């Protein structure tokens, strides 16, 4: 079983791995796992709604007006992603609400946990969780016909990352204790986030053999997670 | 002193009063009160941010997925209005955050009150407060050069009204006690909402003579408020 199929230019050198997220996703996508397109798009859509809710709450609780306005704008981008994914469901002739329903309760529980104990933890979670799940779901949807590449680019498009990084890196630079608390929080988040990611894989892949095959993806997801921790000034 | 100046077609008959909000605002705008454009746009912009935060919280707390998705979409429209008003401030060469700052604390207090005791009260407030303030600020900004009419149309454009009316009128139709509780709540909200509106008027107008002149606006605002109560199935 081959986890990553190539599409787009197969001639790219290994060096291109280090290039932008968008280029990378054009190259790799899960094409040979039998995914239910409606299921995976619906889960991605509901996750974006959860990310939107979390970030708009963080915007409402922002201690200064510049952060508030910046985070609200960022939340708007997540909402737009949600809407586009709902559009992809509707194009497939399904009732989007009904399709998302099975994911509502577990996703809500996950985001209740990821809200953390304070504003900084919420923001850290928005960035780290959003980044990891967007990366992962971009790979899942990337192989879907006919709009996979478009949906993958959508998921990897502008999110709230720039705004959050700018707020949090400034905060941790001036407060090493905050930085070390958020580093612990960032490490704690990974496990639950990967469980959400895993829940998107078909049952048939959730076996020891299947899990072994998913290793390369996990390795890449973890490397990108570490890069995000770095950008926040946190030790992974 | 004349509160309402006419622009656009002055030839419209009185019958057009009963036509759409957009047509009406094209006809009347506060043009002869000396408003500070930056101040009034900044207050309108911050109010939209507050309305956005309130509605996205209501979306997050929605008991069913259809309402959640619909309200999130509606919240996105309020965010777009906020962004456009911020754009109008930036076109005037001012720092939008600094311009909005004086309105942050009183607006936040107002929306904390307007959140009400439960989800239905929050939604009712979003609709009634949003409607009244959008109407009022559309009149205030309508006379500003050069983009007044455009800003007024923006404020009166799609909000969350349709989604909220559909949810609440269904709920009150099936539960008369909820309807009468929300009617009390709707009446309570008006006073505080009018205080917010009044705070946007220049000091020079906030005198007994000035207040008398503002009567026609108040009468219209209250008539529209009553219409909104009706749409929710509430007795004003």
Q: What are phi and psi of B2, to 5 degrees?
A: -110, 120
- The pLDDT of residue A20 is 45
Name the more confident of B156 and B1.
Answer: B156
CA nearest B111 in A: which residue? A60
Tell me the β-bridge partners of A106: none
| CATH number assigned to the domain covering B21-231 | 1.20.1260.10
| Residue listed under structure tokens 């950008």 | A231
Residue B121's pLDDT is what? 97
Q: Do B75 and A79 touch (CB under 8 A)?
A: yes
Which of A72, A82, A101 minimises the CB distance to B49? Answer: A72
Model confidence band, residue A217 (pLDDT cutoffs 50, 70, 90): confident
CA A145 – CA A153 distance, rounded (Å): 14
Classify the phi-psi angles of B175: left when phi > 0, otherwise alpha if psi is within -120 to 50, otherwise beta: beta
B10 or B70: which leads in pLDDT:
B70
Q: Is there a contact between A97 and B59 if contact means CB atoms under 8 Å apart?
A: no
* Most A CBs within 10 Å, among B54, B66, B76, to test the A interface: B76
B53 to chain A, closest Cα gap in Å: 6
Q: H-helix or E-strand containing A29?
A: strand A28-29
For residue range B19-76, what is the model confidence (pLDDT) as tens digits? 444 434 443 456 556 789 999 999 999 999 999 999 999 999 999 999 999 999 999 9
**Do the strands A5-6 and B5-6 form a parallel or antiparallel pair, or are they unpaired?**
unpaired
Q: How far is A97 from chain B (nearest CA, A)?
A: 6
Residue-wise pLDDT tens digits, B124-172: 999 999 999 999 999 999 989 999 999 999 999 999 999 999 999 999 9
The distance of A101 to chain B (nearest Cα, Å) reads 7
Which SS3 state, helix, strand or coil, does residue B32 take? coil
Is it true that the peptide bond before B196 is cis, omega within 30 degrees of 0?
A: no
Q: Is A110 on the interface with B (CB under 8 A)?
A: no
pLDDT in tens, A23-72: 344 434 565 567 899 999 999 999 999 999 999 999 999 999 999 999 99
Per-residue pLDDT tens over the stretch A126-180:
999 999 999 999 999 998 999 999 999 999 999 999 999 999 999 999 899 999 9
**Domain segments of chain B: what residues?**
21-231
As a whole number of Å, the CA-based R_g of chain B is 17
Tell which CATH architecture fits domain A35-231.
Up-down Bundle (1.20)
Q: How far is A126 from chain B (nearest CA, A)?
A: 15
Candidates A60, A82, A101; nearest CB to B72: A82
A28 phi, psi to nearest 5 deg: -120, 135
The tokens describing B86, both together, are 């911020």
**What is the pLDDT at residue A32?**
58
Cβ of B57 within 8 Å of Cβ of A60? The answer is: yes
Whole-number Cα distances in Å, B28 to B14, B16, B137, B139: 12, 12, 12, 7
Q: What span, in angstroms and rounded, lies between the C-alpha atoms of B149 and A111?
A: 42
- Interface residue of A43, A47, A70, A76 to substitute, partner B, most B CBs within 10 Å: A76
End-to-end CA distance of chain B: 32
Closest chain A residue to the Cα of B78, Cα to Cα:
A76
Residues B133 and B20 sit within 8 Å (Cβ to Cβ): no
B26 vs B4: CA distance, rounded Å: 11
The mean pLDDT value of chain B amounts to 85
Are A46 and A105 in contact, with CB atoms under 8 Å apart? Answer: no
Assign A202 a pLDDT band (cuts: 50, 70, 90): confident
Residue B117 has pLDDT above 50, yes or no: yes
Mutation pick from A63, A68, A74 vs chain B, by most beta carbons of B within 10 Å, is A68
Q: Chain A closest CA to B197's CA: distance in Å?
A: 21
Distance CA B14, CA A132 (A): 59
Interface test with A, best of B65, B77, B98 (most A CBs within 10 A): B65
* B76 vs A: CB within 8 A: yes
The shortest CB-CB distance from B104 to any of A49, A65, A72 is to A65
CA distance A158 to chain B (A): 16
Instruction: State how far the Cα of B59 lies from the Cα of B66, in Å rounded to an integer.
Output: 10
Which residues, including other chains, have CB under 8 Å from residue A29's CB and lie 6 or more apart? A4, A5, A7, A139, A142, A143, A148, A149, A152
B198 Cβ under 8 Å from any chain A Cβ:
no
């Amino acid at each position: 079983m081959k986890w990553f199929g190539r599409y787009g230019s197969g001639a790219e050198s290994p060096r291109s791995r280090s290039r932008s997220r968008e280029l990378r996703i054009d190259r790799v996508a899960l094409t040979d796992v039998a995914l239910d397109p409606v299921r995976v798009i619906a889960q991605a859509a509901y996750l974006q709604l959860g990310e939107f809710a979390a970030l708009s709450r963080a915007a409402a609780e922002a201690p200064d007006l510049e952060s508030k306005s910046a985070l609200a704008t960022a939340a708007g981008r997540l909402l737009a992603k949600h809407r586009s994914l709902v559009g992809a469901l509707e194009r497939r002739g399904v009732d989007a609400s009904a399709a998302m329903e099975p994911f509502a309760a577990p996703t809500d529980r996950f985001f209740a946990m990821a809200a953390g104990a304070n504003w900084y933890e919420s923001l850290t979670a928005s960035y780290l969780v959003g980044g990891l799940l967007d990366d992962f779901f971009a790979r899942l949807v990337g192989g879907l016909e006919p709009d996979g590449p478009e949906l993958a680019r959508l998921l990897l498009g502008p999110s709230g990352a720039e705004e959050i990084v700018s707020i949090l890196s400034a905060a941790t630079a001036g407060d090493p204790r905050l930085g070390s608390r958020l580093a612990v929080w960032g490490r704690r988040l990974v496990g639950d986030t990967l469980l959400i990611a895993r829940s998107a894989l078909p049952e048939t892949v959730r076996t020891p053999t299947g899990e072994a095959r998913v290793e390369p993806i996990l390795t890449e997801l973890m490397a990108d997670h570490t890069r995000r921790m770095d950008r926040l000034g946190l030790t992974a």
